[in-house]
């Protein structure tokens, strides 16, 4: 096994990785920006290196500084977590060229599946249903209007190199198409350095379903699905497993086709294949070549530590798991707790945490990196922790989440805890009568 791993990330995911490494007996190196020197991941790691100032470009995205930290500490491998450099094929390639193990797929596969247009072609080639739309990037509005004649309205314009709702525009009226097309290209260039966009049919009432996979050289297994349909402006708020709307026949078909595609492309490591689901049919959306924020719900129902499996696959090239080893039990729900004020259009709420009491108890888990006196800065993602509750069934998981949210106390900053209480107790959530557009259409806050 690796002797020393550098974690190229911060916050709760860095803490999560450090804990997995400790269980393997692996020494850890935390990198941090100047404002993160008192962060929990720095306190828990065996060593730490400051790699730059608070701007992400100067620290957590600063490849030369991270390479220097690797050389300085003698780390054999790098775990990128999610976000930052986790899907940067350039970073993975540089590590490969310097014989430093990137704990994730190869640079080739990151590049292949990170390009949304290429990923869609691959999915279609290996039998996954894809959304009707452009076959590749759309160069100009004239070409785009030709595609509209085939798909009809509404359509979704999406950045080829992006995600998270950036460079994404919904077009419902032909008169607004030209302006939204140019805006999407401009945003794509701004956020991803690539103005290429593509067009696909827009679904009015879809669910967002994803399949977690672990892949070694000779075997790919799936860890069942997650339902991530509670979203606000394409950002996930609540995730759960299993999906309350799927039957076993649909699941088997989805799992078989997903595993087949992942095997055929020779992928290695953890990954998540995401789908749109509407009217009983699945359509490939994208593949994330990293660990997901919502991975804990899968862990608690399967009993499998996905981070430890990532490390094992990176070291050995194989997964020790057989498909028969994976037998999910019960139901799990995760709420992402953000330092935001929902009453002020989700404005970020940085500040110093005063009292901090995190819930515990039977089948209650908190993944976070906060403590009393911790300073939440405005420079990074606003998520401060995740609350995960496991029950024998969905009803019990909701009841446990209710109890746990009531126990949660974070003073000094405004958080989304109260919003989650409203969502969890909403009739539509309880009856699973929602889709990804629910919160954008219905005023709950």
Q: What is the pTM of this model?
A: 0.93
Could you give the CA distance from residue 75 to residue 26 in angstroms, rounded to a whole number? Answer: 10
**CATH for the stretch 207-441:** 3.30.470.20
- Whether the bond between 155 and the residue before it is cis, its omega within 30 degrees of 0, is no
Could you give the CA distance from residue 445 to residue 431 in angstroms, rounded to a whole number? Answer: 19
Kind plus residue range of the DSSP H or E element containing 295: helix 295-302
Q: Which CATH architecture has domain 4-103?
A: 3-Layer(aba) Sandwich (3.40)
Rounded (10°) angle between helices 306-316 and 295-302: 90
Label residues 180-213 b or e (16+ Cβ within 10 Å = b).
bbbebbebbbeebebbbbbbbbbbeebbbbbbbb
- Whether the bond between 106 and the residue before it is cis, its omega within 30 degrees of 0, is no
Q: Which residue has the higher pLDDT, 215 or 174?
A: 215
pLDDT digits (tens, 9 = 90+) for 167-180: 889 999 888 988 99
Question: DSSP letters of 385-443?
Answer: EEEEEEESSHHHHHHHHHHHHHH-EE-SS--SHHHHHHHHHSHHHHTT---TTHHHHS-
Check residue 5 and report its DSSP letter.
Answer: E
Integer-rounded Cα Rg, in Å, for the chain is 21
- pLDDT surpassing 70 at residue 31: yes
pLDDT category at 164 given cuts 50, 70, 90 is low
Tell me which residue of 167, 325, 332 sits closest to 242, measured CA to CA. 332
Backbone angles phi, psi at 332, to 5 degrees: -130, 145
Instruction: Please report the beta strands in 248-405, taking only residues with DSSP state E, as ranges in sequence order.
Output: 269-278, 281-288, 331-338, 340-341, 347-348, 351-352, 356-357, 364-368, 375-376, 383-391
Q: Which two tokens stand for residue 313?
A: 């696959």
Provide the mean pLDDT of the chain: 95
pLDDT at 117: 85
Could you give the CA distance from residue 19 to residue 96 in angstroms, rounded to a whole number? Answer: 25
Could you give the CA distance from residue 412 to residue 263 in angstroms, rounded to a whole number? Answer: 48
pLDDT at 74: 98
Domain coordinates in residue numbering, the chain: 4-103, 132-201, 207-441
Tell me which residue of 240, 234, 210, 232 sits closest to 222, measured CA to CA. 210
Question: DSSP letters of 185-238?
Answer: HHHHHHHHS---EEEEEPPSS-EEEEEEEEE-SS-EEEEEEEEEEEEETTEEEE
pLDDT digits (tens, 9 = 90+) for 361-386: 999 999 999 999 999 999 999 999 99
The catalytic site residues sit at 290
Average pLDDT over residues 69-86: 98
pLDDT category at 45 given cuts 50, 70, 90 is very high
pLDDT category at 161 given cuts 50, 70, 90 is confident
Percent of the chain whose pLDDT exceeds 70: 99
Q: Hey, what CATH class is 132-201 in?
A: alpha beta
């Amino acid at each position: 096994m690796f002797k020393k791993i550098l974690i190229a990330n911060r916050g709760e995911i860095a803490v999560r990785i450090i804990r997995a490494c400790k269980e393997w007996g692996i020494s850890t190196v935390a990198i941090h920006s100047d404002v993160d020197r008192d962060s929990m991941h720095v306190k828990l790691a065996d060593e730490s290196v400051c790699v730059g100032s608070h701007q992400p470009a100067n620290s957590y995205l600063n490849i030369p500084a991270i390479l220097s930290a690797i050389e300085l500490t003698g780390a054999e491998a790098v775990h990128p977590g999610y976000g930052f450099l986790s899907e940067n094929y350039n970073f993975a390639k540089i590590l490969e060229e310097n014989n430093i193990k990137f704990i994730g797929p190869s640079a080739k596969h990151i590049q292949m599946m990170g390009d949304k247009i290429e990923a869609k072609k691959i999915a279609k080639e290996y039998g996954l249903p894809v959304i009707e739309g452009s076959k590749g990037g759309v160069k100009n509005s004239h070409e785009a209007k030709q595609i509209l004649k085939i798909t009809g309205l509404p359509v979704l314009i999406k950045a080829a190199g992006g995600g998270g709702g950036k460079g994404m525009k919904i077009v419902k009226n032909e008169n607004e198409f030209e302006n939204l097309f140019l805006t999407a290209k401009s945003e794509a260039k701004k956020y991803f350095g690539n103005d290429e966009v593509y067009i696909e049919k827009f679904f009015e009432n879809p669910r967002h379903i994803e399949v977690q996979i672990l892949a070694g050289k000779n075997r790919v297994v799936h860890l069942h699905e997650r339902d991530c349909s509670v979203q606000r402006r394409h950002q996930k708020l609540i995730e759960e497993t299993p999906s309350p709307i799927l039957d076993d026949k649909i699941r088997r078909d989805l799992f078989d086709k997903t595993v087949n595609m992942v095997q055929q492309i020779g992928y290695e490591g953890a990954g998540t294949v995401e789908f749109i689901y509407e009217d009983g049919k699945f359509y490939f959306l994208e593949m994330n070549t990293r660990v997901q924020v919502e991975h804990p719900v899968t862990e608690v129902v399967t009993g499998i530590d996905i981070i430890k499996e990532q490390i094992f696959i990176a070291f050995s090239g194989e997964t020790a798991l057989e498909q028969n080893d994976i037998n999910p039990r019960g139901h799990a729900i995760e709420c992402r707790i953000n330092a935001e004020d929902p009453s002020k259009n989700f404005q970020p709420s940085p500040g110093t945490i005063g009292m901090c009491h995190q819930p515990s108890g039977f089948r209650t888990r908190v993944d976070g990196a906060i403590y009393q006196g911790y300073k939440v800065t405005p420079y990074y993602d606003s998520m401060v922790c995740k609350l995960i509750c496991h029950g024998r069934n969905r009803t019990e998981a909701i009841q446990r989440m209710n109890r746990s949210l009531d126990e949660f106390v974070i003073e000094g900053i405004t958080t989304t805890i109260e919003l989650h209480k409203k969502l969890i107790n909403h009739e539509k959530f309880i009856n699973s009568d929602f889709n990804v557009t629910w919160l954008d259409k219905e005023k709950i806050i």
